[in-house]
Amino acid sequence: MTRGRVVAVILAAVLLIAGAFALGRVAAGTAPTPTTDSAAAGFLRDMQVHHAQAVEMALLVRDRTDDETVRTIAYDMAVTQAGQSGAMYGLLDAWDLPQRSAQRAMAWTELPALDGSDSGHQMDPDAPGGMPGLATDAEVAELEAATGDAAVRLFLKLMIAHHEGGVEMADAVLARTDVPQVVTLAEGIRRAQQAEIDAMTQLLAALPPE
């Protein structure tokens, strides 16, 4: 990626984050404030961390392939997820809730569902970072070292798993909160990431054999 393209990506992400942060603060005033230990707050915190790794991997693969389809998907992921992270940060800020919690990652999935059930969404505490779909440090380092088709293949495999984890997290919070802003965010994340899973699965299948 040229220096100009790097700057363009960063500026687009910054502008989107700033706009999303502002929209998050405005939207936050239209519903009762969730508590810091609620599923809504826990999801907003954990999904920011989850999104941060997706942005990192998307920017890594853009530097490592000339495939314009993959580069476009990676750019869209980086900008979209950075914007969503800004909105999530803005909601927590507007509600005067901390951006970090003393609770372990995904502890909010142990809360009962709105219907009183356990909803079956408790997460694996041994997953990397305690969150479903996160790549390990070694996998991210492998992606950073890869080039060409090898980088694309690894990125697609890692990001499909990452998105599957994101969908799982969205489903978990939708079972546990009726806070309108969080429901809207989670539904958007689930819808977009499932569509990207389908697209990336097709791209992976079309790659030449290893």
CATH code of residue 99? 1.20.1260.10
pLDDT of residue 32: 74
Domain extent for 79: 3-206
pLDDT of residue 30: 55
**Residues of the chain scoring pLDDT < 70:** 1-31, 118-125
pLDDT of residue 121: 61
DSSP letter assigned to residue 95: T
Q: How many domains does the chain have?
A: 1
pLDDT of residue 117: 77
Is 79 within 8 Å of 161 (Cβ atoms)?
Answer: no
C-alpha distances (whole Å) from 59 to each of 31, 64, 69, 165, 167 are: 35, 9, 14, 19, 21
pTM value is 0.84
At 51-100, the pLDDT tens digits run 999 999 999 999 999 999 999 999 999 999 999 999 999 999 999 999 99
Q: Sort residue 124 into left (φ over 0), alpha (ψ -120 to 50) or beta.
A: beta
